[in-house]
Amino acid sequence: MKVGIAFANILNFGTPDGSIQFAQAAENAGVESLWTVEHVIYPSSYDSQYPYDPSGQMAMAPDTDLTDPLIWLTWLAANTSSIRLGTGIIILPERNPLVLAKQVGTLDSFSGGRVELGIGVGWLKEEFEALGVPWERRGARTDEYVAVMRELWGGNEVSFDGEFVSFDRVSSNPKPLNGSVPITIGGHSDAAARRAGRIGNGFFPGKGDLEHMLGLVRESAEKHGRDASEIEVTWGSGEIMGSDPVAAAEKLKEQGVSRVIVPSLMFLNNTEEQLAEFGERVVSKIADI
């Protein structure tokens, strides 16, 4: 069972020195991956409902630093050697897919093939409006952007003619080290689960009914001629922090989970000591499950 850390680029972990201390301690503890969060801008007033807090509001002030995920991960790539570098998630329809393909291809090639590209469609309508990106059809835009990036990573002098993106005989280099980058679909909606089954290398629901969502992933994968067992499932679980992490991990594996995620907030104080203890008590115990 793989173990990752979410919300990795926040608070002190978003600073130059704090991020290096955190990432190196996590790597030493055997943590497999770090996963960032993203918002390009923070609107002081918004009606959109944040889906991960009962208040419907993000627990951060407008002046809170929230580092760009790709720059933060590049900084860590230069200061680590094995830990995987995940965006968890990047808001794909807000980004130009040709620019993003170049950025991710470069980061992956420079980091030795360590990038995990987690993507989502976004929930904050006011952010889309500020960026001048249409809120409507952002799901269809996301699907097409995934296809665009994979086309650019897959060869040179490639062409694409879609609803949102068109180009003829263009090349983008450097390529990802292994020819592509795993794309994990984030989100807890039925649409996200079906998207993971249809086009994802992985699925990372932030909350919800895991059994129901994985059923939709399998159903969608089968419908599109894909093997659902090859879609890596990442799930946030506090159960592995209990008295029997092995039993908790075994139960999650039976449900189809292959990576468990814990929040970075657990390690804000005495980071190196807490991560070393976490590695010994949890990571090392469930690594072979």
Is residue 150 domain-resident?
Answer: no
173-184 pLDDT, tens digit per residue, is: 999 999 999 999
Q: Tell me, yes or no, whether 149 lies in a domain.
A: no
Q: How confident is the model at residue 261 (pLDDT cuts 50, 70, 90)?
A: very high
Question: For residue 128, what are the CA distances in angstroms to 40, 41, 51, 66?
Answer: 10, 9, 17, 17
Query: pLDDT tens-digit profile of 117-175?
Result: 999 999 999 999 999 999 999 999 999 999 999 999 999 999 999 999 999 999 999 99
228/219 Cα distance (integer angstroms): 8
Residue 20 located in a structural domain: yes
Given this model, what pLDDT does residue 141 score? 98
pLDDT band of residue 31 (cuts 50, 70, 90) is very high
Q: Is residue 42 part of a domain?
A: yes
Task: Answer for the pair 13, 65: CB distance below 8 angstroms, yes or no.
Answer: no
Residue in 124, 133, 19 with CA at minimum distance from that of residue 66: 19
* Model pLDDT, residue 238: 85
Q: Is 169 left (phi over 0), alpha (psi -120 to 50) or beta?
A: left
pLDDT in tens, 32-73: 999 999 999 999 999 999 999 999 999 889 999 999 999 999
> Is residue 137 included in any domain, yes or no?
no
Establish if 37 belongs to a structural domain. yes
How much is the pLDDT for 237? Answer: 84
Rounded CA gap, 50 and 73, in Å?
Answer: 25
Q: How many domains does the chain have?
A: 1
Q: Which domain, by its residues, includes 62?
A: 2-132+174-286
Q: How far apart are CA 261 and CA 178, in angstroms?
A: 25
Percent of the chain at pLDDT > 70 equals 100
Q: Is residue 163 part of a domain?
A: no
- What pLDDT was estimated at residue 60? 87
What is the rounded average pLDDT for all residues in the chain?
97
CA distance 278 to 272: 10
Q: For 228-240, what is each residue's pLDDT tens digit?
A: 999 999 999 888 9
Q: Tell me whether residue 271 is in a domain.
A: yes
pTM of the model: 0.96
Instruction: Tell me the C-alpha distance between 4 and 33, whole Å.
Output: 5
- For residues 87-106, average pLDDT: 98
pLDDT at 158: 98
CATH of the domain at 20: 3.20.20.30
pLDDT (mean) for 2-10: 97
Could you read off the pLDDT of 264-288 as tens digits, one per residue?
999 999 999 999 999 999 999 999 9
Of 192, 106, 196, give the one whose Cα is nearest residue 152.
Answer: 106
Please say if the pLDDT value at position 103 is more than 90: yes
The shares of helix, strand and coil residues in the chain, as percent rounded to the nearest 5, are: 45, 15, 40
**Rounded CA gap, 100 and 97, in Å?**
5
